[in-house]
Amino acid sequence: MSQPVDGVDARTDRVAQATIGVALLAAFVFRLSWIVSILTIVVAIGALAGPIGNGLHRTFERFIAPRLPAYDRTAPGACIDAVTVRAQDALAAAILAVATIAFVLGIGLVGWVLTVAEAVIAIMAATTGIHVADRIRRRF
């Protein structure tokens, strides 16, 4: 249940990213902009405090991970660098913060486009393991 200092269980990150993606798509379909605001806060805390501060990671580690079979954390792809997770949370927080501001200003179209864009980014990270924020971070 405890995380190594240098990495996060890949299953934890995938569940967190999938949850973000599905919640944002549900927010879009049902036009629930308050979900975007709540997820902005959740991922912003994760970006500032690291994976241990992200409520989605903590929930998975506390309630779901103990029920899953053990696996070799030294295997390739078993752990994701904590810096990558923080970068992904920071990107999500920035995109969702702009979307929230757009909703407050009455520019719903911009808010929903950004919301769906972040949902795609999160689902891509969950399904393929490709973190857009990490790619951006490494490029610059």
Distance separating alpha carbons of residues 50 and 26, to the nearest angstrom: 26
Q: Is pLDDT above 60 for 137?
A: yes
Buried b (16+ CB within 10 A) or exposed e, 85-104: bbbbbbbbbbbbbebbebbe
pLDDT band at 1 (very low <50, low <70, confident <90, very high): very low
CB–CB of 28/112 below 8 Å?
yes
Among 55, 56, 46, 58, smallest CA distance to 82 is for 46
- State pLDDT tens for residues 46-60: 999 999 999 999 999
